[in-house]
Homo-oligomer: A and B are copies of this chain.
Amino acid sequence: MLPVPNRFALVTGRAEGETPLTAFDAALLDAGVANVNLIKVSSILPPHAQPLAELVLPPGALVPIAYGRLVSAEPGTRIAAAVAVGRDEPGRFGMIMEHTAYASASEVEATIRRMVEESFTIRGGRPREILVRSVEHVVERCGCVFAGCVLWYGG
């Protein structure tokens, strides 16, 4: 089987670009995950996974990540992205949620906390700890917000 990640990092980014693709690429740069090959996954924190103090990814590496992004080309529009990790007991797996909206950072944070709680409710549990990171951006020309949870490996 593929190796199960045992580290994670919550990352966010925001940027302007000439085009949606450029803006997204620049937001990935801002988040520190632009120079790798992102593999989108749905979205469980492995048991015992520990947060990374510093995220150092080899260029070109295959990097599992759960993420959300939002691009807007409407000047003046406020856009936001959030990512959250919820865990109940040490040693159990956790839930990862991503959310983006035409909203403020505090609004997407409120929403994502509810989403994490719902995902535990459906599994008959309750999160004891929720980590959240969010970002907001007011579009100038073509803007992008990005929030993700990198799943990674460490010894």
Contacts and interface: CB of A to CB of B under 8 A. Distances in A.
A62 B2 contact: yes
Given A1-B153, A4-B58, A122 B26 contact: yes
A5 to B, nearest CB: 7
A22 B62 CA distance: 28
A93 interface: yes
A115 B119 CA distance: 35
Contact of A4 (B26, B43, B62, B152): B62
B47 A60 contact: yes
A130 interface: no
B122 A29 contact: yes
Given A5-B60, A64-B62, A37 B44 contact: yes
Given A29-B123, A34-B123, A44-B60, 12 more contacts: A5-B62, A21-B115, A22-B119, A28-B42, A29-B122, A37-B41, A37-B42, A39-B39, A44-B59, A46-B58, A60-B93, A62-B64
